[in-house]
Structure 1
Amino acid sequence: MTDSFAVNKANWDERAVLHAASPGYSFDDFVTDPAHLSPVVRFDRPRLGDISGLRGVHLQCHLASDTISLARLGASMTGLDFSGPALEEARRRAEAVGASIDFHEANVYDAVEVLGSGRFDLVYTGIGALCWLPSVARWAAVVAGLLRPGGRLFIRECHPMLATLDETVDPAVPRYPYFEHTEPLVFDEPGSYVEVAGEQHHTVTHEWAHSLGEIITALLDNGLTLTGFTEHDSVPWDAVPGQMVRDGNEWRMRDTPSRIAASYTLQAVKAG
């Protein structure tokens, strides 16, 4: 049986190096402006509220742009990712701006074992994370395990409705699963969601769909209560090339953006 995590890790180890050099992940603004926040965190700033003094963990943190942003808002942050090269760059960036962040290299499913149970006031997951996990129920159990009673989950994610679309045809039409499936979707595609330059050798990825119902039910089954849910008609990257237009840091469908739920922000609290 193919080890999907090993396949994806090879891809992300290689992508991390390319992303670090990409203008799409430019770090200059963080260095020159002490108040600068990543576009994803800035988008959800009104929903985040005051997080100063909270102990937070960012799961699947990649290069830590969002992690550093949360630290700048006053949270004491931990970052976890399965890619060593990504964490090497994340540590370099955090050090460059004086952000004290505790980084750990591990599979997200091992986060409780690695970080300890019930230690965090805030679990944060940024956009484009859940599609790399075969079981959303296992993920929800990890979230519940990390949170203290009364602690909060905050997640912004690609909407599973958008993820069903085949972006290679115009207009895009549903092609991929909406509901969770056992066998992964296998893609072999060079490039990335930001501009990258350089040779790529590990272009195969394994991905999974998770419906909104499955995500919410998994959280409820693990003792969390939904406290906020907002759907958006935009995402922070050109998810359907040639059919989206840019509006600031977000992208919307060119024709009638209200017909597609592109992303969502979800908040939930662990029972106290």
Structure 2
Amino acid sequence: MTDSFAINKANWDERAPLHAASPDYNFAGFIADPAYLSGVVTFDRPRLGDLTGLRAVHLQCHIGTDTVSLARLGASVTGLDFSGASLAEARRLAAAAGASIDFHEANVYDAVEVLGAGRFDLVYTGIGALCWLPSVDRWASVVAGLLRPGGRLFIRECHPMLGTLDETVEPAAPRYPYFEHAEPMVFDEPGTYVEVDRELTHTVNHEWAHSLGEIITALLDHGLALTAFTEHDSVPWNALPGQMTHDEATDEWRMTDTPSRVAASYTLQAVKASA
């Protein structure tokens, strides 16, 4: 497993400056407008509720656009990521945007040891995070460890149904695992999911699937109670090129042909049992 994390870290270290320069992440918008929020946080803002004064931790925060957005909604935010290059960009964005955020470099599985147990009112995980982790049960134990009694998990994630689809055929058809598996899926891709000005040289990455049942069961097993769950027919990137259409109103992508036939993402909330 160490090799998988090392391979993925090299991939994300290279992506970080390219993503920070990409118009899709829009660093310029954050710097120019103190009210600007990421598209992911904007999409879920009605579900997030009032974050004023909450101690929040953003796990797998990447270059910090969602992290800064949470801070702008009033939370006191800590960001954690295993990529030092990503955190360098996140710190640069936060400083330019005037956001005070405490960033830490660590594997997400080490978050409780690094940040301390029971410190947070909110654990936030943005889209495209769980697929990089081999064990969703171990992730759920970290979430439970970080939350205070009564604290909340908020996650928006790619739907595992979408994750099974092969984007190289039309119409897209199931090809990849739906359920968790021991060995990683190995991909070798020179590109990334946003517009960048060059191809990657560290092109290999390792990913894992996790079913909805496995995710929910893991949270229940670690003392969290599910409080909200919504499935969406859209995602914030063009997951199936040539088969999705961009919705300008929501800045999301959905299937061009009958969007209702594919669950593309979901939002899940859960609360840790009170002491």
Instruction: Establish whether TM, by shorter chain, passes 0.5.
Output: yes
Task: Give me the whole-angstrom Cα distance separating, in 2, the residues matched to 1:199 and 1:225.
Answer: 43
- TM-fit CA distance, 1:200: 1.9
Superposition misfits of 4+ residues, deviation over 3 angstroms? none
AA at the equivalent of 1:255:
D
**Residues 1:175 and 2:172 are matched in the alignment:** no
Task: Give me the whole-angstrom Cα distance separating, in 1, the residues matched to 2:210 and 2:200.
Answer: 28
State the partner residue of 2:259.
Answer: 257
State the partner residue of 2:40.
Answer: 40
Work out the number of aligned pairs and report it.
272
State the partner residue of 1:158.
Answer: 158
State the partner residue of 2:19.
Answer: 19
Task: Give me the whole-angstrom Cα distance separating, in 1, the residues matched to 2:184 and 2:158.
Answer: 18
Tell me the SS of whatever aligns to 2:220: helix
- TM-fit CA distance, 1:32: 1.5
State the partner residue of 2:78.
Answer: 78
Task: Give me the whole-angstrom Cα distance separating, in 2, the residues matched to 1:20 and 1:156.
Answer: 21
Task: Give me the whole-angstrom Cα distance separating, in 1, the residues matched to 2:41 and 2:2.
Answer: 35
Task: Give me the whole-angstrom Cα distance separating, in 1, the residues matched to 2:18 and 2:182.
Answer: 30
Overall identity of the aligned pairs, in %: 81
- TM-fit CA distance, 1:2: 6.7
Q: Structure 1 pair 2/89, CA: closer, same or farther in 2 (3 Å)? A: closer
State the partner residue of 1:104.
Answer: 104
* Structure 1 stretches lacking a partner, 5+ long: none
AA at the equivalent of 1:14:
E
- TM-fit CA distance, 1:266: 0.2
TM-score (norm 1): 0.99
Tell me the SS of whatever aligns to 1:25: coil
Q: Deviation string for 1:69-105 (max 9, x for gaps)?
A: 0000000000000000110010011011110000000
> Contact conserved, 2:191 with 2:199, CA < 8 A, in 1?
no
AA at the equivalent of 1:268:
A
State the partner residue of 1:231.
Answer: 231
Task: Give me the whole-angstrom Cα distance separating, in 1, the residues matched to 2:55 and 2:64.
Answer: 16
AA at the equivalent of 2:137:
A
Tell me the SS of whatever aligns to 1:114: helix
Q: How does 1:184-223 map to 2 (within 5 A)?
A: 184-223=184-223
State the partner residue of 2:10.
Answer: 10
Task: Give me the whole-angstrom Cα distance separating, in 2, the residues matched to 1:121 and 1:235.
Answer: 27
Q: Deviation string for 1:148-170 (max 9, x for gaps)?
A: 00000000000000000000000
TM-score (norm 2): 0.98
Tell me the SS of whatever aligns to 1:103: strand
